[in-house]
Amino acid sequence: MATSEATLLSEGPKPSLRQRAAFALRWFFIICVLTFYFTVGPFGYICFALFSLIPSRNPQARARLLQAIQRNAFRAMHACLSWTYLMRFKNQVGALDKPCVIVANHPTLTDVTAIIATFKEVVTVVKPRLYNTWWLHPLLKASFQIEGETGKFLAGGKVVAQSVERIEQGFSVLVFPEATRTEQGQEMAFHRIGFEIACRANVPVVPIVLRCKPSWLSKEQPLLRPPFGAPHMSLSKLEAIEPANFGNDSRRMRDHVLKLYQGELADS
């Protein structure tokens, strides 16, 4: 808290007593939320994991049920963050018309949860180290999440094949072309895999633009260094991109979408 407040004092006008009180209250809520999560969260994960281990005659139906539970849990989490004034959310996107590849920039740790809380029947690529964590693996596998490749996150044929299979089963696939959180001031660079998935599955790419101001839960502003003001995260959807319009060339699609993001985020 001292670091964030000292930075504010050196860069702007002296905050009022009311602002200081609001900042202290936000720190109190951070401690409360963390305490609640680490106390109650493990029981929820264990219950979901045990449920996912129950044999099922219809794995797809079970996956959709588990995804619905995850979606509602993430919605509750984001509502809690808004109620406690830790992070406000503004959703400017509607429902998806059909299975697609969702691509998004990656400014914060809440990007995955925000998108999954917004759309139904979305799976994503999970880093192998997290996917194979003993207490998470049953839930991730049963909910049809996709395991990334060791040492080649978002870079292998197995990921593409599994993603195409999920789309054929009626799910949308979420991919972050940057593969990791965006660093402020760093030039954006996109991997091609999300666009390759769209070309092979012959489905559109739907770009989602995420903004968080002031920055928090980023590489520069981690959890325990909150900004003085409450961050506002917004989600907006750009026009869907069809592979056929680019001759099913994933490189051309990638380059086009990258330019769209660069234009959208130029003033962010």
With cut-offs at 50, 70 and 90, classify the pLDDT of residue 138: confident
Contact 240/102 with Cβ under 8 angstroms? Answer: no
Contact 115/109 with Cβ under 8 angstroms? Answer: no
pLDDT at 161: 95
Q: Which domain holds residue 189?
A: 2-264
Q: Is the pTM of this model over 0.75?
A: yes
pLDDT at 109: 93
Coil, strand or helix at 235: strand
Of residues 14 and 65, the one with the higher pLDDT is 65
Q: Which helix (H) or strand (E) holds 102?
A: strand 101-104
pLDDT at 10: 41
pLDDT at 236: 95
Residues 91-106: tens digit of each pLDDT: 878 889 899 999 999 9
pLDDT at 13: 64
- How much is the average pLDDT of 202-220? 94
Q: Residue 174 — φ and ψ, nearest 5°?
A: -95, 130
Distance from C-alpha of 29 to C-alpha of 85, rounded to nearest angstrom: 8
In the chain, the number of structural domains is 1
- How much is the average pLDDT of 127-140? 88
Q: Residue 153 pLDDT more than 90?
A: no
Distance from C-alpha of 209 to C-alpha of 151, rounded to nearest angstrom: 27
